[in-house]
Chains A and B, each alone.
Chain A
C-alpha cells in the first residue's frame, strides 16, 4: 500500500485543531476571568478601596499577595474587583452593538432599495468617525459614568456588525430554501427570524467575541485617560493610570499586573473568537 495523496500543511492543521493547547488555554483563561468577575465579592482578601498608607508601595507579602499600590490599596483585590468593570463595559458594548447591528443589517439587506442606501450610508458615516473620539466627546458632554462611553463605543462598533450581517443576509436570502418559504406563504419577518437570523448567528457572534477584546482595550484606554469609570471604582485601565506614579518611583508591579490582565484577556477573547469563526466556516462547507 502506498499513501498516494501528498500530506499537505500538516503543521498548520495541528495548530488549527480544536484540541490545540493554545485554544484550550485561552478558553480556560476566559472562563477564569469571568469566574473571578462574577465571584469577586467573595474572593477578594481585602476591601479593594481600603487605604493603608503605612503599607504603600509594599511588595508581595503573605497579607498582600501581589503587593500594594501607591495609595496603599491591595493590588490583588483591585485586580479581581476590577475584572467586573473591565468585563461589564465591553459586554455592554458588544450586546448593544450586536443587537442593533443585526437589526440594521437584516433590515437593510432584506428591504433593499432606499432604506438600504440610507442605512448603509449612515453606518459608513459612523465608520469614518474614530470610535475613541466619539467616546471622548460623549463622556466630556455627559461626565463620569460607564453608560456614556459604553453607548458611544457600541455605536462605533455597530457598523462592523451591521456590514457583516448585511452581506451574510444577502447571501442567505439567495438560497432556494428562503424562496421555498416565501412560496409556502410565510411572511418575510417569519422567514427572517426563524431561519435567516439563526443561520447567520454563529458567524456574527464569533465576530462579536472578537469585538469584545477590542472594546475592552478601548474602554481601558478611556479609563486610563481618566474618562468614564469613576475615580474610586477599581478598573484595570484606571489601575494602569494610578500605577504610573508607582513606576516612576521604581515600583512597577501595581501598573504592570493590570496591563498584563488587559493584554491576556484581549488575546484570549480574540483567539476564542477566531477559533469559533473557523469552526463555523468549516461546518458550513
Chain B
C-alpha cells in the first residue's frame, strides 16, 4: 500500500472545521485544525463547553440536529463530512471507533457481553459467528479479561472491567483511529492507570492512532505525544506534551496549569482564573480568552489571533498575540 511518493494518509486530519448550531451567536467550533498520526497518542484538552467533545464526535459525524459544518474531517484520507450513509456506516463500524466516558450508559444492560462485542461484526460484515466470537475472546484477553466475561451481563462487571469491554468492542472492527472521550473520568484513579496503560499497550500492538479527549491536564501530559488545548471552540495551543506543560506559551494553558491542584505545585492558594468561558450566545470579536487574560491588550480585544509557530520551535503552534511575554514566566521549568 505504501508507495514511496505518496505517504499513507494519517488516521485523522481535521482542517478548518467550523460548526454552527441553530440559535447560537457564534460557531461552536471555529477553525479547528488537528492531526493524529498512525500509532500516535494525541490529547485534546479543554473545559466543558470548549468544544472538545464535539470535535471528537464530528469525526464520526455524530452531530447535534441542525448542525452546519465547514471544513474537512478526513479519517484515513476520506472526508467524513462528505460521506453517504453507506460510507458513514463503514466508517463507524470499521475505520474509527469511540470509547465513551460512562461505559454503563453506552452498553445495553440486557444483552450479554459476548452479544455486545460480536453484534457489529455479525450485522455489518460477512464474518461467521464462530469467527466473531473467537476475535472477541482474543480481544478480551488483550484487555486483561477472560472468556468467562463473554457470558456475563454488564451489571455483573465493575466500571473498570466494563470500560475494558468497551475498549475491546472498539477494537473489534480493527480501527485505524480510536477516539476516547474522557474514558477514565468515571473511574477510580488506580483503575484509570490500568485503563491508560492498556490503551498504550494496544496502540503499540495494533498501530492505532488515539485521540484522547480529557479535561485533566496532568493526565494529558502523562500519556500523550502531542497535546491540543482548546478554548471556546478554537485551538489555543498545540505542541509536544512535555514542552507544552513545562513551558506553556498561551496564557490559557498557563492559567489552567496554575489552577490545577497538583501534588508537585508550590503550596498555598491556587492561581484561579476569574470569570468563566464565554457562552454560546456571546459573539466573539477578538481573542476569546481576552476578558480573563492578564496579558490582554486592545489588540487582543479587536483581533482574533491566528495560530502561529513559535520561533525556533515549528512543532508548537500558539494562537496568542503575546506568547513571547510568557517566556521566562514563573511556570517555565
A interface residues with partner B (beta carbon < 8 Å): 1-8
Contacts and interface: CB of A to CB of B under 8 A. Distances in A.
Contacts, number: 26
A5 B63 contact: yes
Contacts of B85: 6
A253 B23 CA distance: 53
B81 interface: yes
23 contacts: A1-B69, A1-B70, A2-B68, A2-B69, A2-B81, A2-B82, A3-B66, A3-B67, A3-B68, A4-B58, A4-B61, A4-B63, A4-B67, A4-B68, A4-B69, A4-B81, A5-B61, A5-B64, A5-B65, A5-B66, A6-B85, A7-B65, A8-B65
B215 to A, nearest CB: 22
Contacts of B81: 2, 4
A3 B20 CA distance: 10
Interface of B: 58, 61, 63-70, 81-82, 85
A6 to B, nearest CB: 8
Contacts of B67: 3-5
Nearest to B73: A4
A6 B82 CA distance: 12
Given A4-B67, A5-B66, A5-B67, 7 more contacts: A1-B70, A2-B69, A3-B67, A4-B68, A4-B81, A5-B65, A6-B85
Contacts of A6: 85
Nearest to B63: A5
Contacts of B66: 3, 5
A7 B70 CA distance: 18
A5 B88 CA distance: 12
A8 B66 CA distance: 10
Contacts of A2: 68-69, 81-82
Contacts of A8: 65
B80 to A, nearest CB: 9
A2 B68 CA distance: 6
Nearest to A7: B65
B165 to A, nearest CB: 28
A8 to B, nearest CB: 7
A30 to B, nearest CB: 32
A6 B88 CA distance: 12
Nearest to A3: B68
